[in-house]
Amino acid sequence: MRTQVAIIGAGPAGLLLSHLLHLSGIESIVLESRSRADIEATIRAGVLEQGTMDILTNAGVGARMKAEGALHHGVELAFGGRRHRIDLTELTGKAITVYPQHEVIKDLVAARLAAQGQLLFEVSGVQLHGVDTATPSVSFVHGGEAARIDADFVIGCDGYHGVTRPAMPPQGREDFTRNYGFGWFGILVESAPSSDELIYARHDRGFALVSTRTPTVQRLYFQCDPADHVDNWSDDRIWAELHARLESNDGWRVNEGRIFQKGIIGMRSFVSTPMQAGRLFLAGDSAHIVPPTGAKGMNLAVSDVNVLAQGLEQYYRQGRDDRLQGYTDAALRRIWRAEYFSWWMTSLLHTFADATPFQREMQRAELECVVSSRAMATALAENYVGAF
């Protein structure tokens, strides 16, 4: 097979890049190790910044997001038995939409198939060849048969555990990592929403988060040991922990319901640079990971491929590659700011096993400053909605 751009990975980054290229008249083929059913059923959180919403809308894949997503104009910080609202729209003029990642994937798959885009699911044995030359290729197995794609460029959108980042040359490569020593225990619950907006709660027992999925499904999280196991947590124990961490002096309580999904996710920050070498480029989780506290993961992936699509369009339309050559620097400016915000939110709201009493009081004092200072609340709001 021959194409202009070979894309490894059919997550939000790979699918959106393929669609943006299609809108610019650039051919691509997307390879994915999982089935279509698998990628559309993998439930992931989704808080979309204003810029992400605009990119999806302008690409013609935002109709269902607008119809079914929950537009939020604020978030709440809870600590000391009280909740404090940060008015995102009043402070920044922007908002966020809660719309799960797997729904974005469904929209993008539908758009690519409607445009006769080439999506190859359930491929295995992916290997990259000649990415340091002008004629890179990708070999793989599909439907039990060996195959190869010759391309002008190869784009790695295959996540942290994918094959593309290890294919980057080691010379000059640098990885930045922060492991936080705790995780999030997440549940999906059949119940009416407990709140119209997200609640980020800091408690001495640990962090907790109240979110929504639909008018009948809640998504709730609480800080836990990443080595713990869901079997150690009965429904009664989960509700007792959430009530304890989310307790409010005004009598508000989280709504209970049938828990139909449980899982534990780790918390880490990670950046690998450079994000390009020869004709190989990385985007999304292939190059960086953020803790979910800042709600930046999918937004960074969208930002990466938006920059990359512009560079590829310039290359094919104008015969210039200055945007492609500057891709890493352009992407990293956005990435490091999101890494900072995610680290800051994580540090602000979680309990740390090695924290001294002084450090805990500093954490409480910082929260008080955020909710009482318009300047600090604006800084949080600007970073949260991506207004920078």
Q: Please report which residue ranges of 212-266 form alpha helices under DSSP H.
A: 235-246
Sign of the CA dihedral with 161 first, then 96, 254, and 260 last: negative
What whole-number distance in Å separates Cα of residue 105 and Cα of residue 386? 21
- Grouping H, G, I as helix, E, B as strand and the rest as coil, residue 21 is helix
Give 84: exposed, middle or buried? Use CB within 10 Å, 0-12, 13-18, 19+: middle
- Grouping H, G, I as helix, E, B as strand and the rest as coil, residue 367 is helix
| Residues 6+ away with beta carbon under 8 Å from 85 | 74, 75, 76, 197
Sign of the CA dihedral with 241 first, then 245, 248, and 253 last: negative
Catalytic annotation, pick one of 12, 19, 22, 72: 72
44 dihedral zone (left: phi>0; alpha: psi -120 to 50; beta):
beta
Interhelix angle 357-372/374-385, rounded to 10 degrees, is 90
Catalytic annotation, pick one of 106, 274, 292, 327: 292
Is 99 known to be catalytic?
A: no
Strands (E) in the chain, as ranges, are 5-8, 28-31, 47-48, 70-72, 74-79, 82-87, 96-98, 118-120, 123-129, 137-142, 145-150, 153-156, 174-190, 199-201, 208-214, 217-224, 258-273, 276-277, 280-282, 288-289
The answer, yes or no, to whether the previous bond of 274 is cis (omega within 30 of 0) is yes
Is 384 known to be catalytic?
A: yes
What whole-number distance in Å separates Cα of residue 83 and Cα of residue 352? 22
Is 94 known to be catalytic?
A: no
Q: How far is CA 329 from the centre of its chain?
A: 20
What whole-number distance in Å separates Cα of residue 35 and Cα of residue 38? 5
Is 180 known to be catalytic?
A: no
Is 315 known to be catalytic?
A: no
Strand partners, 146: 141
Catalytic annotation, pick one of 12, 106, 136, 200: 200
Residue 113 CA: distances (Å) to CA of 3, 19, 109, 375: 17, 10, 6, 46
Q: Which residues are catalytic?
A: 72, 200, 292, 296, 384
